[in-house]
Amino acid sequence: MEKYKEVIKELIKFRDERDWQQFHDSKNLALAISIESAELNEIFLWKKDNEVENVNPDKIKEELADIFAYSFLLAEKHNLDIFQIVLDKVKRNGEKYPIDKSKGTAKKYNEL
């Protein structure tokens, strides 16, 4: 938890030193997450099945860092505990995808 607080502190410091808070409303942070996610997808675009696991890990790290940074800032803006919201989602997914019906299949919960 301390590491997370340190990351948030550094993100806010970086943002505030540049007077970028004015641009970091919820809509723009959500759009930034989407755009950075698309950039992550681009790393894998046109790769064959045997190539996707061998892409440059530095490129993956770069895009994931952007996605996490904007996600953390959006969560902080709304006073959301990122760890709790993920745990809550895992619990809800566990209810939607019971092991006995979903193990070994990629079917969506309404197809099980």
Give pLDDT, residue 78.
Answer: 98
Give pLDDT, residue 92.
Answer: 97
Tens digits of per-residue pLDDT, 48-96? 999 999 999 999 999 999 999 999 999 999 999 999 999 999 999 999 9
* DSSP string for the chain: -HHHHHHHHHHHHHHHHTT-GGG--HHHHHHHHHHHHHHHHHHHTT--TTTGGGS-HHHHHHHHHHHHHHHHHHHHHTT--HHHHHHHHHHHHHHHS-HHHHTT----GGG-
Share of the chain above pLDDT 70, in %: 99
Give pLDDT, residue 109.
Answer: 81
Could you name the CATH architecture of 2-78?
Orthogonal Bundle (1.10)
Is 111's pLDDT higher than 90?
no
Handedness of CA 99, 105, 111, 112 (dihedral sign): negative
Tens digits of per-residue pLDDT, 1-56? 699 999 999 999 999 999 999 999 999 999 999 999 999 999 999 999 999 999 99
Largest pairwise CA distance in the chain: 52
This prediction's pTM: 0.89
φ, ψ of residue 34 in degrees (nearest 5): -65, -45
Q: How many residues does the chain have?
A: 112
Give pLDDT, residue 87.
Answer: 97
Give pLDDT, residue 15.
Answer: 98
Take residue 18 and report the two structure tokens written for it.
């540049």
Q: In the chain, where are the structural domains located? A: 2-78, 81-112
